[in-house]
Amino acid sequence: MPRTGTAGRAALAAMRRQGDGMKGFVLGCVTAVAIVAGGALAMQGARPDQPVLHPERVIIGLDLSRSNPLIDNPAFAARVAQRIAAIVSRLGLASEVHVRTFGSYDPGSNGFSYDTVISVRARPEQVAAEIEQLITNTPRLVASGRWRSQQKTNILAFLDNSVRSVGCGGMPTSIILASDGVEDSEYARLAQDDTLPAPDRQLYRGCARLAIFGLGQGTGSPVMTARLRRQWGGWAQAAGFGAFEGLNDW
């Protein structure tokens, strides 16, 4: 079954007690391994009618910093949830999905983790529904204290940690952030007209796409939103991402 950290187990258990209908996450790791092995055999000359797998990896980061409307605006959280769920629902077999929270540079504040592999037991529509419900319930989880709103916004540190721990190798990898994009850390304070530092291109080798949903939300400024889009678009290009998408609204 999908692995969750201590904070994650507490959050999900609380949601079940509250009657949210969150189903138990089921992870078909063994099935996925068998599928991958079968796909390899197919590519080596098995029956031509056997499907060739095209797995992808999706890393989802939920920004719990206080500047991000995701933590206290249920309507906005639901819209972000629907958009991300639509992406997950289209994943093929043997694809990976990883969900983390971030904000402060403090592992104790962000213990939630969700990891699964799309398989015959963990269908993409199932996983998408679970993730949609989780993100939709972010304001409730924060209000209840099960997730903590945080003072800082360490987006760059989250990207660094995600690539080092999960990686971009082996399959096309998208990193999707539910964030306002306002980096507020030792690296940069974008709200104060700082600029993002140059990325380590070697570190992000193989990363296909960076997306930020909610860019500039909460700033009330289209000028600030445009500046954030330029900053993150330039950073993503310099890091070697194949594509960048920064959406304020949709």
pTM of the model: 0.80
Cβ(150)–Cβ(129) below 8 Å: no
Which residues, 6+ apart, have CB-to-CB distance to 67 below 8 Å? 153, 180, 182, 184, 191, 218
Closest C-alpha among 179, 174, 162, 160 to residue 64? 179
Cβ(146)–Cβ(10) below 8 Å: yes
Report the largest interatomic distance among the alpha carbons of the chain, rounded to a whole angstrom: 60
Over its length of 250 residues, how does the chain's per-residue pLDDT go in tens digits?
455 555 554 555 555 454 444 444 333 433 433 334 444 334 344 455 555 679 999 999 999 999 999 999 999 999 999 999 999 999 999 999 999 999 999 877 888 999 999 999 999 999 999 999 999 999 999 999 999 999 999 999 999 999 999 999 999 999 999 999 999 999 999 999 899 999 999 999 999 999 999 999 989 999 999 999 999 999 999 999 999 999 999 9
Burial 103-127 (b: 16+ CB within 10 A, else e): bbbeeebbbbbbbbbbbebbbbebb
Report the C-alpha gap between 233 and 226 in whole angstroms. Answer: 10
Delineate the domains of the chain, giving CATH numbers in brackets. 6-43+53-247 (3.40.50.410)
